Amino acid sequence: MSAAALTGCLVKILLVGVLLLTPGLAGAEVRAWLDRDRIELGESATLNIETDGGGRPDYAPLEDDFRIEQQSSRHSYEQHGGAAVTRTLYAVALRPDRTGELTVPSLQVGGERTAPLTLIVTAASAAPARTRDPAFIEAEVDDVAPYVQQAVGLRLRLYYAPRLLSGQLEQPEPDGGALRRSGNDLQYTRDIGGRRYQVVERRYLLVPERSGRLEVPAARFHGRGVGGWLDDLFGEGQRSVAAEGPVLVLDVKPLPAAAPRPWLPLHNLQLRWLERPSTVRAGDAATIELELVADGATAAQLEPPALSADQGAQIFPEPPRHDETVEEGRPRVRMVRRFSVLPAREGRLRVEMPGVEWWDVDADRLRVATLPALEFDVAPAAPAAPESPGVAWRSGEETLVRVPGVQGGARAWALATVAFAFLWLATLAWALQLRSRGAASGRTIAGAGAGAPPDAAHRSGPGPTLRKALVAGELGDIAAALCALSSPPATDLDTLARMLAPGPQREAIAALQRARWGQGEGAAAAARTAVREAFARGPDWRVGDDGGDATLPPLYPR
């Protein structure tokens, strides 16, 4: 490398270091968001503003449509690019004065401005019946007659008038349904009957596991609060606060006769092309991106979208990205996936997405979501660049190869020797790893009978961990939950399969392993269903030696 090139590289490194050590030179970052974008008149919404600059928000523009109530701020410190960055989160409670679609205006924060936001304010609903109590609980579901395995949104609201010092809100899990929390708690205020209540809203995802009557137990709250001035006068400044919500009853419907496979009950499903190439050339990868939005499901219930192409084109999908929200009391997921399409030859290329079958729970009918196919005119491959005369040259009888950053040429046999050495080391490491795995597997097979419960015929159900993993977990979570069924937990799915009796449970584990390696479209949903059905009554442990799994002799006898 020449002296001039070396000097240029050093200058670039110094400039990058200066920029990393002084992040403020790039300008402060500021963002704003609301904890809820739809509220009732009489409720409050929290406006959050986060900035890494030193300025404070100017709340004056908010006074046109809102009453400003509580304000707070919180500081955090983190390392970014080798330098300490201070972030400040400001929170302010806004109480609207009218109904309609209100705009939270752009606010000045130091030298930056926030983006305007939209808040929908509806008329106040009917007041709860227990407004005279110091604390009470409301509970509601978005569907009282769902289908089996349909995601149902459960929403709890704890109202309390006294100031709480401590407390715990609990929602017992129903028998015959999987329940898990969804998102973080929301806190706001609401005026009811001339009395102001603090409200804690907690959301759950409920998935019925069988048809028939499903009873959701009452939620309970126990805490301690601060009493009024009369309690303080008599030395009783604290008092117990308790509340109990209603019992909810759902009428769960069985799978319809025309149910699609995999079963996907939704309120709505939308597909959209997000990105498509303007020009396509043979031998060059083109990028295509699509969006899937499902109303009434989580990401774990969806099969990632796939594409197909003709003319021998290859498609390489990236892992899907998704974000989950709760809207109108039920789950909603947006999934985005990017694909690289590699045309094999010039001509007309057609790329399409197979239709997605789903069940419309509102109309009780089967629907198929589709996208119009994409068609491209593939241009011929670009001509190959002429070989540079400096790439290789002859020196006597040996061919020298130019290596960047090395003066002169390197002999081809030297490069081949280095590559062979790396391959030999990689092969040795792989062989040692296989040997250690084989030894561990042999020990596990020999002790498989000891790893099962003492009463191997006892079946106590799949357990809450497996049920929750089947509802909202990834395939890896399901595998871990299955391995945890044995005591001690199995090291892997192969070990667990040997501990189980031959039958549907072993077949379900095999289907799960195939799905984890991406073998076949729809394999993930089918494997999830197979595991749920096979382990509905708990693991079926192998009793004694059925002759199906003989203990293997050690690879290297001692």
Q: Reply yes or no on whether the pLDDT at 390 is more than 90.
A: no
Distance CA 186, CA 181 (A): 13
Tokens of 547: 């002759």
Q: Reply yes or no on whether the pLDDT at 63 is more than 60.
A: yes
Q: Reply yes or no on whether the pLDDT at 270 is more than 80.
A: yes
**pLDDT for the residue 28:** 64
**pLDDT for the residue 411:** 53
**pLDDT for the residue 291:** 96
Q: Report the b/e string of 109-141 with b at 16+ CB within 10 A.
A: beebebeebebebeeeeeebeeeeebbbbbbeb
| Residue-averaged pLDDT of the chain | 80
* H or E, element range at 325: strand 321-327
**Tens-digit pLDDT profile for residues 308-346:** 999 889 999 999 999 988 887 788 999 999 999 999 888
Tokens of 81: 């690019």
Distance CA 419, CA 398 (A): 19
In degrees, rounded to 5, the angle at the alpha carbon of residue 473 between the alpha carbons of residues 468 and 478 is 80
Q: Reply yes or no on whether the pLDDT at 96 is more than 80.
A: yes
Mean pLDDT is lowest, of 16-25, 286-295, 506-515, for 16-25
The answer to whether the Cα torsion of 208, 210, 214, 217 is positive or negative is: negative
Question: What is the signed CA dihedral for 532, 536, 539, 543, rounded to 10 degrees?
Answer: -130
Q: Which of 69, 78, 301, 277 has the alpha carbon at shortest distance from 180?
A: 301
**pLDDT for the residue 417:** 59
Tokens of 220: 């309970």
**Tens-digit pLDDT profile for residues 238-258:** 788 899 999 999 999 999 999
Strand partners, 220: 170, 244
Mean pLDDT, rounded, for 477-484 = 89
In degrees, rounded to 5, the angle at the alpha carbon of residue 319 between the alpha carbons of residues 528 and 430 is 85
Distance CA 89, CA 337 (A): 32
pTM exceeding the 0.75 threshold for the entire prediction: no
